[in-house]
A and B are shown apart, each in its own frame.
Chain A
Amino acid sequence: MKIKVISVLCVLLAILIYSCQNEDDITFKRYYTTGSLVYQSHCQNCHGNDGLGLSALMPPLTDTAFLRKNKTSLACFIKYGLKDKILIVDKRSYDNDMPLTDLAPIEIAEVLTYVANSFGNNQGLITSQKVEADLAECK
């Protein structure tokens, strides 16, 4: 009887430790999965299912250095769109307008997490708190 109780406790402890260790991981996965759906409905038509964009019309999302450099502006790009701006992405210039969206900060965070960890990018979780902070600083 004693052994049974101990073993059950051990298993519970193991589950607890396991779930604690992976909480960040689970948050990341939740952001990433929802982000992929946001991407499909709001971004994919122009940027493509492979993130490669379209010729010189739509910039690719594969330029990791660009994403890193503009980390604090990405949320602003998505929320307010881009108008009369020239972006240099992957050594090519893009001057087409990008439409604004009515996404909530959490959705922007999810889609950014998806993009920043797809198409050859690997930049980890982007939280909705960070997005809200970035949005407050939009120019």
Chain B
Amino acid sequence: MKILIGAAALLFLASACKFNAAQNTTLPIYGNRTPVTNTVAGKTTTDTLYQTIPDFKTVNQYGDSISSKNLKGQIYVADFFFTTCPSICPVMAKNMLDVYNAYKNDKDVKIISYTIDPKHDSVNVLKKYADKLGVAGNTWWFLQGKKEEIYKLSESYLVRKPEEDAKQMFIHDGYFILIDKQKRIRGTYDGTVPDQVTHLIADIKTLKAESGQK
């Protein structure tokens, strides 16, 4: 009898572990959801419409025009920064370099950093910054766009809208946002915390596996 109970307990334990493992293979989908009801051929179906990143128009550090089209079918990580930022940006850049080094040879993964100081951060300034950081090729883009548009865009990434302040110049938060191939938000990570960035690197792998199935 005792053995039976023991065996049952073990079985429960094992199944609990497996259950957890299965849960970990998909990432959550963040943002607002809207139910959409469609009537196709007399049948009514309800779908969930997830929040997605809207279209944007920017220029990268090479002077190329970059819009959402250039990110079609790609997983990417986004953040907001400016090159003369004395506070959290160097830490973010250091941690993002880890992401870059992990995926720089993977053409399915991109990193985009929007500048929130487009007046100072011209294409030339961004190129110099990328060079000094040791970033080459087309894996990591530094993007300059119209200030109001970028600030507006930051809201759809669910990050704090940047603000200007006399002393710090710009106030913003240091989140890295993981976007899937359908432009949905699948993860947010504090870019100033190395542990969270390690998580992000692992989550990109998970997300890649997920989109490989579909």
Residues of A within 8 A of B (CB): 45-46, 48, 54-58, 96-97, 99
Contacts and interface: CB of A to CB of B under 8 A. Distances in A.
Interface of B: 84, 86-88, 90-91, 93-94, 97, 129, 131-134
B91 A55 contact: no
Contact of B129 (A46, A48, A57, A97): A57
What does DSSP make chain B's interface, helix, strand, loop or mixed?
helix
Contact of B90 (A56, A57, A97): A57
A58 B90 contact: yes
Given A56-B132, A56-B134, 19 more contacts: A45-B86, A45-B90, A45-B91, A46-B86, A46-B90, A48-B94, A54-B90, A54-B133, A55-B97, A55-B132, A55-B133, A55-B134, A56-B133, A57-B93, A57-B129, A57-B132, A57-B133, A96-B132, A99-B86
B35 to A, nearest CB: 44
Contacts of A54: 90, 93-94, 133
16 contacts: A45-B87, A45-B90, A48-B94, A54-B90, A54-B94, A54-B133, A55-B97, A56-B131, A56-B132, A56-B133, A57-B90, A57-B129, A57-B132, A57-B133, A58-B90, A99-B86
A69 B22 CA distance: 59
Contacts of A57: 90, 93, 129, 132-133
A56 B134 CA distance: 8
A19 to B, nearest CB: 41
Contact of B84 (A45, A48, A56, A97): A97
A45 B88 CA distance: 6
Contacts of A58: 90
Nearest to B84: A97
A70 B131 CA distance: 27
A41 to B, nearest CB: 11
Contacts of B88: 45
A108 B134 CA distance: 31
A48 B93 CA distance: 11
A97 B93 CA distance: 17
Closest 7 pairs (CB-CB, A-B): A56-B132, A46-B90, A55-B134, A57-B132, A99-B86, A55-B133, A54-B90
Nearest to A52: B94
B198 to A, nearest CB: 16
A53 to B, nearest CB: 9
Contacts of A99: 86
Contacts of B131: 56
Nearest to B87: A45
Nearest to A94: B132
A46 B93 CA distance: 10
Contacts of B97: 55
A96 B132 CA distance: 10
Nearest to A42: B86
Contacts of A55: 97, 132-134
